[in-house]
Amino acid sequence: MNLLQRLGKFLLRGYKEVSRPSGPAFRDWKFNGQTEDGDLWAAAWALTDRTRDLFRENPLYQKYREVLWAQTFSDAGLLLRMQVKETEDRIITSAAEKAALRMHDERRNRIRKWAAEKSGRTFEPVSLIRELGSNGSRAASVKVGEPDIFANELIARRWKEWQRKEFCDLRGTRNYHTIRLLRLISAVRDGDFFLRLIRDPAVNKFGFALQLINAEYCDRFLNSTLPDGNVIRLGIEYQHTAYGLGKPVAYYFIKRAPSDWQITMAGLFSAYPSASMHVRIDARDILHYARPVDAEGTRPAPWVCSAILNSRQLNEYSIAEVIAARVQACKIGYLYSDVLPEGGAPETIDPRKSVPTQEISPGSIVGLEYGVKYQESNPTHPTANFAQFSQEQIRRICAAMPGSNYSEIANDYAAINFSAGRLQRLTSDAISYMLQRFDIDTAEIPIFESWLEMALLTGAIPLPAAKFDKFNRPFFQGPRSPGVDPVKDVNAASFRIANNLSSWTSETADLGEEFRAVVEQKAEDLMLMDEFGLDPSLTASKPMPVNDIGAASVGETTMAPNNQPAKELAPGRLNLDLE
């Protein structure tokens, strides 16, 4: 065989080997060749019904729901920090704003004065406002670039008030934290979710509320081309452009009826594709809460759809094992006679199948008909590999659940060690932070902007509505999970700061806190302890430093890696000496 013939054998190998429509390896691999939208259009109802059934009845999915909520939102929800700054030099005439600025200055100066006295420095008060007039009672001024203390505090306070159920929910039964949980789990379960932004001064004093709409009410079966060229796809109307589909223009929802809660499939008995049964809502008033997974897709499938088959079969297998183990544990005895036809006991006949049946209970003795003998089938249940098989299947299921991991979903922490748990936590946290960013960008910021606009227009926030762009400066951050080893995490943060690789502000933000607020609170804590004569140092009589890498505690002395005593630390300070 020459060189060309040898090369020819390799050249024959290519993508066609894995793209054959038939063959021993791919004979049972069926695919439809449809687009994402075309496939979902035909299968959405079955997917939604099955995932909803799993979330209702499967304990793994119920645990996943709670874990996902806890990791994404925790009990505190999303943290808002307003970052409004002055855009121009201006005169303050509002008594409320002047009072807020004076309180802010008094708090800061009280801390500065205490710190100056402790260090022996001369105290010089600092003020954000500059009084105008002879007695300082008529007006005050602030400079461009300074934080707008009054606006930041007022907007944050009103935003927290609006989150009460009587304001944020059109029904008035769910607070905003609950709405956050519902929109996330609904998208996981159904693929997407819709929130209608109600802008109406009549709904509440803020003029803004949310209406929650499940995915089935945005009609997936409504698909057509309108006279103006716009295209309706899966219930969403898109602007038609020379380049293809443009931005969403409107959403078509099936009209609600008083009895629609009794029907699992919205619009099931309605005439298609007529649009007379729909309510058309402008896209400005709808938030489509969906996580795209396909560039051409308009509505995604349930996030956990790839785990449906394994979840169903594992659940049924587990039930069968439990039933078989229960039957085996009953230890039934049977009496029969082969001497006289009259011997034995009559059986109950199943009227559906005409098959003799016997009711069993633990320790029972049952009689059989003449001539009938009992053939024992005594398999061992549960089988020896039941636990291992179930674990492997649960791992496969967890792989299809964003943000989940086997040990938490299965409550099996014995299957991992400390190092594996640390790596697992890092991955779970990264996915949780990604889901938080998705939620903030998709829902939290648009909702906040719509609320702020209406709150300014209705006067619920007494600030000029014309300066909406100035006041629309929110910063949202999701909760951060504590580390597996907090001491090592603190040490790592301290070393990054000491080597100028990070800042206090950045490290504090990673904990979900604001550095300025933490420092002010710490200073006030020290002032309070000093006022009552308490020692602000650590509670131990000989404070133990947080060890450097490799340091170990020996008796009452902390030993460094070179077996020399570590340097003594000032109360409450970390050892950042890298020598």
Q: How high is the pLDDT of residue 571?
A: 43
Q: How high is the pLDDT of residue 511?
A: 81
Report the candidate in 486, 487, 485, 483 with the shortest Cα–Cα distance to residue 575. 487
| Integer-rounded Cα radius of gyration of the chain | 34
> Which amino acid type is present at position 204?
N
pTM (2 decimals)? Answer: 0.80
For residue 199, give the H/E element and its range.
strand 192-199
Cα-to-chain-centroid distance, residue 24 = 43
Please give the angle made by the CA atoms of 32, 34 and 38, to the nearest 5 degrees: 125
Dist. CA 424–CA 405, nearest whole Å: 7
Q: How high is the pLDDT of residue 288?
A: 97
Tokens describing residue 355: 């098959």
Report the candidate in 77, 156, 72 with the shortest Cα–Cα distance to residue 437. 72
Q: How high is the pLDDT of residue 529?
A: 87
Q: How high is the pLDDT of residue 559?
A: 42
Q: Which residues of 216-241 are buried (b: 16+ CB within 10 A; e: fewer)?
A: bbbbbebbeeeeeebbbbbbbbbebe
Q: Is 130 helix (H, G, I), strand (E, B) or coil?
A: strand
169, with CB counted inside 10 A (0-12, 13-18, 19+), is: buried
| CA atoms 546, 547, 552, 553: torsion sign | negative
461, with CB counted inside 10 A (0-12, 13-18, 19+), is: buried
Q: How high is the pLDDT of residue 348?
A: 56
Dist. CA 516–CA 64, nearest whole Å: 36
> What is the pLDDT tens value at each position of the chain, 579 positions in all?
566 566 555 555 566 666 666 666 677 777 777 888 888 888 888 899 999 999 999 999 999 999 999 999 988 889 899 999 988 888 887 888 888 888 888 888 888 888 888 888 888 887 766 665 555 455 677 888 888 989 999 999 999 999 999 999 999 999 999 999 999 999 999 999 999 999 999 999 999 999 999 999 999 889 999 999 999 999 999 999 888 889 999 999 998 766 666 665 555 544 444 456 889 999 999 999 999 988 888 999 999 999 999 999 999 999 888 888 887 777 566 555 565 555 445 555 555 555 555 566 666 666 666 666 666 666 677 888 888 899 999 999 999 999 888 888 988 888 788 788 888 888 888 899 999 999 999 999 999 999 999 999 999 999 999 999 999 999 999 988 877 778 888 889 899 999 999 998 888 888 878 888 888 888 888 888 888 888 877 554 444 554 544 444 444 444 444 444 444 444 444 444 433
